[in-house]
Structure 1
Amino acid sequence: MFVERIYDEDLAQAAWMIGCQATGEALLIDPERDVCRYLDRAKYNGLTITAITETHIHADFLSGTAELASQTDATCYLSSHGGDDWSYQWTKNSNSNIQFVEDGDTFQIGNITIAVVHTPGHTPEHICFLIHDKDTKEAIGYATGDFVFVGDLGRPDLLETSAGIQGVMEASAQQLHKTCQRFLKMDDFVQIWPAHGAGSSCGKALGAVPQSTIGYEKRTSPPLQLIGDEEAFVDFMLTGQPEPPLYFARMKQMNRDGMPILGGLPAPKKIESATELKRLALTATTIDTRDWAEVRDGHLPNTIWSKANGDFHRYAGSFVDASEEIILIVREDELDRALRNAIRIGLDKIIVWAEPEVLLQVPNLETMPEITVQELDTVENISILDVRRLPEFEAGAIGGAINVAHTRLLGRLNEIDKKQTWVVNCHGGSRSAAACMELKRKGYTVTNLAGGYKGWKQHTSFCEV
């Protein structure tokens, strides 16, 4: 039996490849959309992907199930538990081999048996997979998707907070409690293979350890210690969850209803003319991946700032719509990473890219004002916008600030008066910098607070001594 965790550090997302070495067949669980890397790993290990599945309709990335099925003869095993609202629709127009599965079903990957377990709570259709090696009654592993993480559980509020279905998160949390009661009866020795690690927005306290066991999670996971007290469990699971990026709603819809098949990574044209770059920037959105100080001191009009790393989905995903044509400002050695991060969240319309050296040849670049915490004391007639998460804001904030998390900013612009001049802060200055660039695109007068709330707190504490 072969098991490999294929991990995306930027989205903190894990796909699991389960292979039967005797027959050369493999199952891939929860793939992302840039599927070439899975095919490469299978080939390297002498395997052929003959089956694809996913634990649920994801909110944080576009699934690679349909993409991979279009490039292979693999069978797709999908949950039949979604009901009227959360059943797969893209399958109706697909030529792929699709089998719907439900709780208690099994299927084979060579000599390996995969048993389906319905685990609603994070989402209604969520399923997990118990993995049995040849001729073994006991499972070796449990692919838990977004149900059980190391040290946490999948959040039950996303249908309401990201997909906009009102009044369902408490019932979802209650359902998750029931699902956990079933989990507690499972064998302690079974390994847990989750779909996310630390840094994911699908929970609030995910551990960085890649896998665990059922027994260890029973004994140590904070929410599992509350099983038996439904009220306390529901309160715990619905408190302190991070505000989901706005793109989550689009991911849910596209993963349910369908998305374009890419057939490979995009190959945008490279721009080497500053004149052409400036012309294209008048009608396209520029995603500038340079360091903040460089972007602050010179950028094209209609630019947002987003590094090509794990910030990409939080910043570009929060501020760029899938319909926008995109220019990437990126070093060549980071181009592949930026392209993959873009298509994983459905930002497919990347028309051109340019290296920073070309951008610096464009005359009259725009700049973003920025002040220090010391200078904040001397500025008059300003309003303060804090773009941290609500729990951060409630723990302490600059006097008079209003709070809108940067991941929800575009949905709450009506709360930000365009007639005001705004100083924008986060904890250290990065989230606020990204928010400033987007607010500038929308016509606001903004200044970034370098050092953020952390710097302001240190400054005011020093002044009080």
Structure 2
Amino acid sequence: MFLRQLWDEALAQASYFIGCPATREALVIDPTRDVDRYRALAQQFGYRIVAVTETHIHADFLSGSRELAEQTGATLYLSGCGDAEWSYRWAPDGAVLLHTGDSFRVGHVLVTVFHTPGHTPEHLCFAVIDRGRGATQPMGLFTGDFLFVGDVGRPDLLESAVGEQGKAQSAAQQLFESLQLLEHFPDFVLVWPGHGAGSACGKALGAVPHSTVGYERRYNPALQISDRERFIAYVLSGQPEPPLYFARMKRLNRDGVPPLKKLPRPRAMTLDVVRQMPEVWLVDTRPWEFFRQGHLDGALFAPFARALPTVVASYVPEDAPIVLVARHRWLEDIVRWLARVGVDKLLGYVEPEELERSGRLRSVEVIGTEDIDTLRRRHDVLFLDVRDRSEYEAGHLPGAYHAPYARLPQYLGQLPREAELVVYCQSGERSAYAAAYLQRAGFRVRLYGGGFAEWVRYGGEVVRSEPFGGA
């Protein structure tokens, strides 16, 4: 059996390409929207993509399953499970709907289907047996967002990201039941998950790309809990705030992803041209030290790093036009990262050197711990904690309001316009994204660069309580 993992560093997401060396037929699992990379891999190694599938209706990226199947003539295999609200509405004629116990072949590779609800109602896992080598037991299990290295898929997203109240508890119970499936697999069976460390689809994902059922059975914290109620409490606690764009991804992946056809090609622009386009959103991808010293009025800070697609997809309205501040050599990666989260309207880009020739730039004021006491005594200052809820509850600055950075647009109406905002996170990264967004929204903003970690080292007062801000 031929196997390649295609890894997206920005989203910590894995797609898989599985081939039969004897027949040169291949299957792709969980493709992203830029499907040219799967076709390129098939061409490189002499395979023909004959099957495309996905483990579930994703929340963090747009699926490329339909487009890849259409371009290659492959059979599309989709979950036939789920409920009336969360099942595939776009499944075309000819798609094969799968249920537990179903199987299909890709050459001499046998793929068997298991319904594993919990993370989502329709979630599937795929066990693969390499018949070409005479195997009678599975080599591995493609677990999607059901089982990760060191973690399990979070069951709360339909409630916390999509807004369907009351879903998290029942989904956690479903996940507990689904995990009993692992008892039927030998220890040696490999686990190929859909995500790794850095994904918001769990709370403690490992950075190792794969594991085994036996290793996870022994060391995965969630699998050590045999009591249902304790498991539910564990899996629902401490989950990171889902980025605001997750709800849009869920809707589009359920109802039908707009075809990409080809990747956007932003054109080079001058500042004079950009300044005549007041409707565009400026996304500055330079490092923080350059952005804070001088950036275009209204620019978002989304550096050329793994957080870029999350920041842009959460802050920029759907279908809004974008101009990047970026180096030309970064564009290929940036365009792909953004296409995967449905951000396609990239009109152009400005090279960073263009900004150096401009005399009309804004800056972000960064303050230190020595400034905090003075600011706390002012009645027109509001401290804004943009970390996850669990971090806020564990300890925050006295009087700080909570608004997680990846859901910040939901909170704009709750923040007092007359106040000066002092934004902080743990160590300065997330607060930098938030400060730029708030500055664009018209707030007076300062950034506490050292963040909560420095405040604790300084010996500052820490309050532990339930958050009183929330949307």
- Structure 2 CA distance for aligned equivalents of residues 214 and 157 of structure 1: 24
Q: Which residue of 2 aligns with 1:407?
A: 406
CA distance in 2, matches of 1:360, 1:162: 40
SS of residue paired to 1:207:
coil
What is the CA distance between 1:250 and its match in structure 2?
0.2
Give the Cα–Cα distance (whole angstroms) in 1 for the partners of residues 389 and 271 of structure 2.
Answer: 42
**Does 2:270 align with 1:279?**
no
Partner residue in 1 for 2:262: 264
Query: How many residues in Structure 1 have an aligned counterpart in Structure 2?
Result: 456
- Aligned residue for 1:438, secondary structure, equals helix
Q: Deviations over 1:160-212 (max 9, x none)?
A: 00111110100000011111112223222211111111111111011111111
Instruction: Compute the displacement of 1:338 (Å).
Output: 0.9
Q: CA deviation at 1:443?
A: 2.0
- 2:333 aligns with 337
Of residues 223, 235, 239, the one that matches 1:241 is 239
Secondary structure of 1:377 counterpart: helix
Aligned partners of 1:335 and 1:148: how far apart in 2? 33
Does structure 1 residue 346 correspond to structure 2 residue 346? no
- Contact 2:287/2:304 (8 A) holds in 1: no
The root-mean-square deviation of aligned C-alpha atoms, in Å, is 1.5
Residues 1:311 and 2:307 are matched in the alignment: yes
2:117 to 109, 116, 120: 120
Structure 1 partner of 2:368? 372
Instruction: Quote how far apart the aligned CAs of 1:375 are.
Output: 2.3
Look up the match of 2:384.
385
Q: Which residue of 1 is the match for residue 2 of structure 2?
A: 2
Measured in 1, the distance between the counterparts of 2:178 and 2:166 equals 20
Amino acid at match of 1:103: T
2:434 matched to which residue of 1? 435
The residue type paired with residue 121 of structure 1 is: G
1:368-412 per-residue CA deviation (whole Å, 9 max, x = no partner) reads: 222222223333341100101122222221221111111121112
* 1:321 maps onto 2:320 in alignment: no
Matches within 5 A, 1:99-118: 99-118=96-115
* DSSP-derived class of the 1:90 partner: coil
Residues 305-363 of structure 1, C-alpha deviation per residue, up to 9 Å, x if partnerless?
11122111332122112221101111112111111111111111111111111233233
TM-score (norm 1): 0.95
Matches for 1:76-115 after TM superposition, within 5 Å: 76-91=76-91, 94=92, 97-115=94-112
* Counterpart secondary structure, 1:446: strand
The unaligned stretches of length 5 or more in structure 2 are: 462-471
After TM superposition, the score normalised by the length of structure 2 is 0.94
Q: Aligned partners of 2:314 and 2:356: how far apart in 1?
A: 26
Equivalents in 2 of 1:103, 1:372: separation in Å?
A: 57
Distance (whole Å) between structure 2 residues aligned to residue 154 and residue 243 of structure 1: 14
DSSP 3-state at the match of 1:129 = strand
Partner of 1:199: 198
What whole-Å deviation, never above 9, does each CA across 1:201-256 have from its counterpart, x for those lacking one?
111011111111111111111111113x1000000000000000000000000001
2:26, 2:49 within 8 Å by CA — same for their partners in 1?
A: yes
State the SS of the aligned residue for 2:362. Answer: coil
Query: Could you say if the C-alpha distance between residues 460 and 279 of structure 1 is closer, same or farther in structure 2, counting changes exceeding 3 Å?
Result: farther
* Residue number among 252, 262, 266 corresponding to 1:254 in the alignment: 252
* Partner AA of 2:122 in structure 1: E
Deviations 1:34-56 (A, max 9, x none): 11222222222221111110000
Deviation, 1:461, is 6.0
Identity rate, percent: 45
Secondary structure of residue in 2 paired with 1:193: strand
Give the residue type in structure 1 aligned to 2:107: G
Q: Give the aligned partner of residue 458 of structure 2.
A: 459
Match status 1:360 vs 2:347? no
CA distance in 1, matches of 2:55, 2:413: 37
What do residues 131-154 of structure 1 show as CA deviations (whole Å, max 9, x unaligned)?
A: 011143211111000001011100
Displacement of 1:294 in angstroms is 1.3
Alignment of structure 1 residues 6-25 onto 2, 5 Å: 6-25=6-25
Match of 1:17, SS state, is strand
CA distance in 1, matches of 2:313, 2:451: 22
The letter of the residue matching 1:411 is Q
**Quick one: which amino acid aligns to residue 130 of structure 1?**
A
Opposite residue 49 of structure 1, the aligned amino acid is I
CA distance in 1, matches of 2:251, 2:81: 17
Contact 2:417 2:443 in 1 (8 A): yes
